[in-house]
Amino acid sequence: MSALLEIKNLHAGVDGTPILNGLSLAIQPGEVHAIMGPNGSGKSTLSYVLSGKDGYEVSDGDMLFDGRSLADMAPEERAIAGLFLAFQYPLEIPGVTNMTFLKTSLNAILRGRGEDEMDAASFLRLAREKSCGLGMNDDMLKRQLNVGFSGGEKKRNEILQMAMLEPKLAILDETDSGLDIDALKTVAEGVNALRAPDRGMLVITHYQRLLDFIKPDVVHVMAAGQIVKSGGPELALELEKSGYGEFVGEAVNA
Amino acid sequence: MSEAKASIDKETVDQVAKFGGEHYKYGFTTEIDVDKIPNGLSEDIIRFISAKKEEPQWLLDWRLDAYERWKTMDEPDWAHVDYPKIDYQDLCYYAAPKSMEDGPKSLDEVDPQLLETYSKLGIPLQEQEVLAGVRKVAVDAVFDSVSVGTTFREELAKDGVIFCSFSEAVQEHPDLVKKYLGSVVPKSDNYFAALNSAVFSDGSFCYIPPGVKCPMELSTYFRINEANTGQFERTLVIADKGAYVSYLEGCTAPMRDENQLHAAVVELVALEDAEIKYSTVQNWYPGDENGKGGIYNFVTKRGDCREARARISWTQVETGSAVTWKYPSCILRGDDSVGEFYSIAISNNMQQVDSGTKMLHLGKNTSSRIISKGISAGRSSNAYRGQVNVHPKASGARNFTQCDSLLIGDKCAAHTVPYIEAKNLSAVLEHEATTSKISDDQLFFCQQRGLDAEEAVALIVNGFCRDVLQHLPMEFAVEAQKLVGISLEGSVG
Ligand SMILES: Nc1ncnc2c1ncn2[C@@H]1O[C@H](COP(=O)(O)OP(=O)(O)OP(=O)(O)O)[C@@H](O)[C@H]1O
Ligand SMILES: [Mg+2]
């Protein structure tokens, strides 16, 4: 079976500043990988490069998603192909309700795949079911997208979008930051519900706590734009105790 | 939020997808035999138009007087727009389909080609085409200089509502016309209004009798077809005591390389406790991306809340035209009267918009509300010009103005020019203004959720316009949302 996501020797930067320096990583279908690493090590950058944000340029290496090279795909094509990014800082869109946004997004993706759009009734049913599962009431669906949402509500909303779109690969960028303990559990349940043999996840986090709820198959340590160490869930526990000190030096020497 | 509303945005996006590359879907021309007079403006031309319509002497005199005054006036130059000088002698002031020669006909007799034109524009001119379950909308269709048909007249007549072309009103309801014509926009009000008063050819007339709530939406649909022809229509809407009407106008024109002039006058009169809601979806041909061609839309619209507790509300969605000069206004004469102005003005490519409103507070305890959303893209220029005036005797006047501009790209311009003049100390006037840009991060966020850049812009702009879109009648809100998407095509890339 070929990898769901294969990153080989990726060099990339933003606005001319190199940030990723030869990063390699492979996620097999069904796997959950966690990435941990100090502030500024390039975790969010990796998520933007994978999802195709403007200004982020790849200077070397490959990114294969389901065997397809991501490099030449527009951001929306990547989304249509099944790549989802839960943003570290979700955006606000005034005047557009959460419901409208979800529906526009879901239908754009279905259309992009050559499938029929979802009718209004089925959509409503699905949206209610998914939001209820995440402890969000109808009222949240009627509000303008992320406008006036608390930090935790915004994160929960990202997971709602993920649950609606059912991506093949979900990248979660610090979705746990700013969540209270109950919200953390709910979000983790949402993530776990999406785990499936043909799907994969890349979970960026600073806290081992999240990994108690979302059990990763592999944990990576990222420093200075590279993966400097990979291991099982126990690696996260180690990091929690000893910090990143030893890796920061390692990356520089690499 | 209702489910219907939710589905609208999807349609916006569909529509944008569907018209990818093809910017203006109403740009076709109708090949039809026309009766067109030679170019130029003179007393003779005015006499010709008046005779063609078999007008009474008083109306001819009124036109000629307007013409005399127009000749002494100067074209206004204070607006934030720039266009080559118009040669008024090089315009045609009257063009009508030959089939309409003997005046308006019953709908069954209207030239099938005209019916087809309107059906291509999405305007049903056959009453039976209106689907069951859909709210009925009566339409007066104006093609170049004449009205080619008005639907549901008989049904409306049962409630005493008069809805017909202006020419017919002159013949059949001369007293009403004489009483109200020019009573809101005097014939020498401004340069373009004077020109219109001299040469207006047709338009719509509507009268709602006392206490009647008009049983359906009324609408006028303007189409300029002929080349080198100006359209000068006149609309007069009167809501008698306690009456209510919701009125909509739509406008399109073929794509032509030369500019065409549209100088209309709309007068609204609301008597005691009456309410008029007037909505416009203006989609005249805007010219191409280099600014070639397009309509000059120089329009005077004014409503008069003539008696106590009258309400007039203007809602406009302005997406077309090469140059727009338009300030739908309210005269708040009656005590406790209310004026509202809700506007979305979009400019893309080389379009120029100078639009806004004037609220004139004359009566006691009058209030007005202005919500303006200006969206500029491309190399366009978009100005909001507003005036709130409180007369010394207008105690207890209130105004709330909110003026938001959204910029797309960095080559466009937005201007806000609010004038406030309060001569009564009890006035409470509030003004809020914001300017924002669509951020790259917002666009990327939408794209990451599967929308392409244009769909993303359409969604974000529709969100920005939400407060105004909500004031449009439901049927037209859908249309307007689509239009917002289409008119911003090519603004990101
Ligand atoms: N537009 C930019 N121009 C220049 N440098 C940038 C730009 N964006 C990010 N960087 C830099 O790239 C580095 C990596 O940033 P990134 O946001 O990927 O880190 P991160 O690992 O996600 O950190 P955190 O844990 O704080 O979220 C940082 O040093 C940051 O300052
Ligand atoms: Mg980060």
Which of A52-66, B225-239, B409-423, B470-484 holds the top average pLDDT?
A52-66
Distance CA B267, CA B240 (A): 14
Distance CA B284, CA A63 (A): 48
- Residue carrying structure tokens 């998407």: B485
Select from B444, B455, B459 the Cβ nearest to the Cβ of A96. Answer: B459
Residue B92's pLDDT is 83
pLDDT higher than 50, residue A233: yes
Over residues A162-177, mean pLDDT: 94
Ligand 1, from A10, A11, A41: best to mutate by most atoms within 8 Å of Cβ? A41
- How much is the mean pLDDT over chain A? 91
B residues 138-197 lying closer than 8 A (beta carbon) to A: none
Distance CA B448, CA B126 (A): 45
Whether the CB of A51 sits within 6 Å of ligand 1: no
Protein residue closest via CA to atom 1 of ligand 1? A14
Give residue A191 CA to ligand 1 midpoint distance, Å.
25
Q: Which residues contact B453 (CB under 8 A, 6 or more apart)?
A: B443, B447, B492, B493
* Amino acid at site B296: Y
More confident residue, A246 or A190: A190
Residue B114's pLDDT is 65
Q: Residue A241 in contact with residue A34, Cβ under 8 Å? A: no
pLDDT digits (tens, 9 = 90+) for B79-135: 888 888 888 888 888 877 666 655 555 666 666 666 676 666 666 666 544 544 455
How many of the other CB atoms lie within 10 Å of CB of A126?
A: 16
Ligand nearest to the CA of A18: 1
Residue B334 gets the label, from left (phi > 0), alpha (psi -120 to 50) or beta, of: beta
Give residue B224 CA to ligand 2 midpoint distance, Å.
56
Lowest mean pLDDT among A107-121, A174-188, A207-221, B94-108: B94-108
Confidence of residue B5 (pLDDT cuts 50, 70, 90): very low
Protein residue closest via CA to atom 17 of ligand 1? A44
Protein residue closest via CA to atom 29 of ligand 1? A40
Q: Does A125 touch chain B (CB under 8 A)?
A: no
pLDDT higher than 70, residue A250: no
Q: Does B108 touch chain A (CB under 8 A)?
A: no
Residue B102's pLDDT is 56
Residues found in chain B: 493
Q: For B202-225, b where at least 16 C-beta lie within 10 A, e where not — what string? A: bbbbbbbbeebebebbbbbbbbbb
Distance from CA of B477 to the nearest CA of A (A): 15
Greatest Cα-to-Cα distance within chain A, rounded to the nearest angstrom: 58
Q: Does A21 touch chain B (CB under 8 A)?
A: no
Select from B440, B451, B464 the Cβ nearest to the Cβ of A76. Answer: B451
Over residues B236-259, mean pLDDT: 85
CB contact under 8 A, B445 and A90: yes
What is the number of the ligand 1 atom nearest to the C-alpha of A222?
Answer: 21
CB contact under 8 A, B9 and A103: yes
CB contact under 8 A, A95 and B464: yes
User: Residue A197, CB half-sphere, CA atoms under 13 Å: how many?
Assistant: 1
Ligand nearest to the CA of A173: 2
In sign, the C-alpha dihedral spanning B483, B485, B486, B492 is positive
Q: Residue B16 in contact with residue B485, Cβ under 8 Å? A: yes
pTM of the model: 0.84
pLDDT higher than 50, residue B18: no
Residue A178's pLDDT is 83
pLDDT higher than 80, residue B67: yes
Q: Does A248 touch chain B (CB under 8 A)?
A: no
Distance from CA of B366 to the nearest CA of A (A): 29
What is the number of the ligand 1 atom nearest to the C-alpha of A42?
Answer: 18
pLDDT higher than 70, residue A1: no
Whether the CB of A17 sits within 6 Å of ligand 1: yes
Distance CA B341, CA B468 (A): 9
Q: Residue A239 in contact with residue A233, Cβ under 8 Å? A: no
What is the number of the ligand 1 atom nearest to the C-alpha of A47?
Answer: 18
CB contact under 8 A, A80 and B442: no
Whether the CB of A205 sits within 6 Å of ligand 1: no
pLDDT digits (tens, 9 = 90+) for B169-203: 999 999 999 999 999 999 999 999 999 999 998 88
pLDDT digits (tens, 9 = 90+) for B432-473: 999 988 889 999 999 999 999 989 999 999 999 988 888 887
pLDDT higher than 90, residue B55: yes
Task: Give the pairing of strands B146-150 and B137-143.
Answer: antiparallel
Over residues B32-37, mean pLDDT: 72
Give residue B456 CA to ligand 2 midpoint distance, Å.
24
Residue B207's pLDDT is 97
Protein residue closest via CA to atom 24 of ligand 1? A39
Whether the CB of A14 sits within 6 Å of ligand 1: yes
Residue B221's pLDDT is 80
Closest CA to B316 of B377, B254, B374: B374
pLDDT higher than 50, residue B20: no
End-to-end CA distance of chain A: 31
Q: Which residues contact B264 (CB under 8 A, 6 or more apart)?
A: B196, B203, B222, B231, B232, B233, B234, B235, B299, B300, B301
Residue B82's pLDDT is 85
Give residue A39 CA to ligand 2 midpoint distance, Å.
7
Over residues A175-191, mean pLDDT: 88
What is the number of the ligand 1 atom nearest to the C-alpha of A45?
Answer: 18
Residue B387's pLDDT is 94
- How much is the mean pLDDT over chain B? 84
pLDDT higher than 80, residue A171: yes
Q: What percent of chain B has pLDDT over 70?
A: 82
Closest CA to B213 of B243, B168, B248: B243
Give residue B57 CA to ligand 1 midpoint distance, Å.
79
Residue B108's pLDDT is 65
Residue B68's pLDDT is 95
More confident residue, B389 or B106: B389
Q: Does A85 touch chain B (CB under 8 A)?
A: yes
Over residues A112-130, mean pLDDT: 93
Adjacency order of strands within the sheet including A169-173: A83-86, A169-173, A200-204, A32-36, A218-223, A226-231
More confident residue, B14 or B342: B342
CB contact under 8 A, A105 and B451: yes
B89: DSSP letter:
G
Confidence of residue B1 (pLDDT cuts 50, 70, 90): very low
Confidence of residue B6 (pLDDT cuts 50, 70, 90): very low
